[in-house]
């Protein structure tokens, strides 16, 4: 168990600091402070206007965080391009000199930086680059999952549609029901939270499906219900390859579709309209069943992000989407994951 301070300078908000928010909400480690000079003096709950993170202070810099006795500095945001901003370097070096390990999900690997590496060696601390892929290379073998296991994958209409959060909430609800379940991480934040998984956006394409297959098969041997974090979207102009590799490596028995209420285009690609929900659902089912026809894998429910809507508007949109798709729909953060776990259990018991 670590005592973590999270670096989220200038960006501590839901969308820009997904890693920070996910770790605060789900990690078993203790978050003792968040660094963001633009929100210093508030606590996490005040800054995010939410009901978690109450009492976790936001401080100006690493020096103000040290009295809270952290032993780990975690980089909680991902600047565009995934590089280390020059203005952050002194904070990392100060943390290292104070004997703190550094955990990073950047595309830039801290352990490849000579200055940081030498400082870490001098002070006996670890630089953990979560996105560094294993050296092992595996091509998919198309091996069936253990009979009696159930693999559920989150897919979605875009990036940042709540795929990790949905799977964490589903797995937690399944465990509360006494099911033998596990969450499988496929991105840096999920790995930081769970301590397992693969950074699939850093695996060479030829080996992506194989590495995912090997990981999922291992989980299926140990657990009856395996909830796999999704990545990207099949209809995304930039990130569809990683989604397809994940679909074919996981070969899910069922899927949950994740969507932001009211979204009409890919975020950042305003000339890339979203297909209709039924069409996007069909795209994902078809892509899995190219390889999985006998299992006839289906999307069995929809996880909807409604944080920008009032509660009445959220209920109305949930009802509209249920009518449009014929699938149970819920915002798992606002209204709980039970409707989706019910749908999954119905599907496998049918």
pLDDT tens digits, one per residue of 222-262: 999 999 999 999 999 999 999 999 999 999 999 999 999 99
Sheet holding 30-35, edge to edge: 58-59, 30-35, 3-7, 72-75, 101-104, 127-129
% the chain with pLDDT above 70? 99
Average pLDDT taken over every residue of the chain: 95
Q: Residue 130's Cα: distance from chain center in Å?
A: 13
Distance CA 276, CA 321 (A): 11
Q: Considering only the top CATH level, what class is 150-349? A: alpha beta
**pLDDT (tens digit, 9 = 90+) per residue, 114-151?**
999 999 999 999 999 999 999 989 999 999 999 999 99
Distance CA 276, CA 279 (A): 5
Region 319-324: what's the mean pLDDT?
A: 98
Is 3.30.1490.190 the CATH number for 3-129? no
**pLDDT (tens digit, 9 = 90+) per residue, 33-92?**
999 999 999 999 999 999 899 999 999 999 999 999 999 999 998 776 678 889 999 999
Q: Is residue 350 predicted with pLDDT exceeding 70? A: no
Region 168-172: what's the mean pLDDT?
A: 98
List the structure tokens of 309.
């809507």
Same fold, 3-129 and 150-349: yes
What pLDDT is stored for residue 292 in this prediction? 84
SS3 labels along 259-327: EECCCCEECCEEEEECCCHHHHHHHHHHHHHCCCCCCCCEEEEEEEECCCCCHHHHHHHHHHHHHHHCC
Scanning the chain, the segments in alpha helix (DSSP H) are 18-26, 44-48, 62-65, 89-97, 114-123, 163-176, 188-194, 205-222, 240-250, 277-289, 311-325, 332-335, 338-349
Distance CA 241, CA 247 (A): 10
Which of 36, 53, 35 is CA-nearest to residue 44? 53
pTM: 0.93
């Amino acid at each position: 168990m670590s005592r973590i301070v999270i670096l989220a300078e200038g960006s501590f908000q839901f969308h820009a600091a997904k890693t920070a928010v996910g770790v605060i909400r789900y990690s078993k480690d203790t978050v003792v402070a968040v660094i963001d000079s633009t929100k210093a003096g508030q606590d996490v709950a005040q800054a995010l206007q939410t009901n978690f993170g109450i009492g976790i202070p936001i401080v100006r810099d690493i020096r103000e965080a040290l009295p809270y006795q952290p032993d780990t500095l975690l980089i909680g945001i991902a600047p565009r391009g995934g590089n280390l901003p020059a203005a952050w370097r002194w904070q990392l070096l100060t943390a290292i000199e104070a004997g703190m390990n550094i955990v990073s999900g950047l595309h830039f690997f801290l352990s490849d930086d000579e200055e940081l590496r030498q400082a870490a060696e001098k002070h006996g601390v670890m630089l953990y680059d979560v996105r560094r892929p294993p050296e092992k290379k595996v091509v998919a073998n198309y091996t069936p999952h253990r009979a009696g296991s159930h693999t559920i994958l989150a897919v979605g209409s875009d990036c940042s549609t709540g795929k990790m959060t949905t799977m964490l909430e589903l797995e937690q609800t399944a465990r509360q029901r006494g099911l033998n379940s596990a969450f499988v991480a496929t991105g840096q934040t999920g790995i930081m939270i769970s301590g397992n998984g693969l950074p699939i956006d850093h695996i060479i394409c030829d080996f992506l499906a194989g590495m995912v297959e090997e990981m999922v098969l291992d989980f299926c041997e140990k657990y009856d219900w395996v909830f796999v974090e999704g990545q990207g979207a099949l209809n995304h102009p930039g990130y569809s390859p990683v989604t397809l590799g994940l679909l074919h490596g996981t070969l899910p028995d069922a899927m949950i579709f994740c969507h932001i209420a009211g979204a009409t285009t890919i975020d950042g690609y305003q000339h890339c309209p979203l297909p209709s929900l039924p069409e996007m659902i069909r795209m994902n089912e078809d892509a899995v069943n190219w390889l999985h026809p006998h299992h006839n894998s289906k999307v069995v429910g929809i996880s909807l992000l409604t944080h920008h809507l009032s509660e009445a508007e959220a209920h109305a949109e949930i009802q509209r989407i249920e009518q449009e798709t014929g699938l149970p729909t819920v915002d798992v953060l606002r209204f709980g994951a039970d409707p989706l776990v019910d749908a999954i259990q119905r599907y496998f018991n049918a």
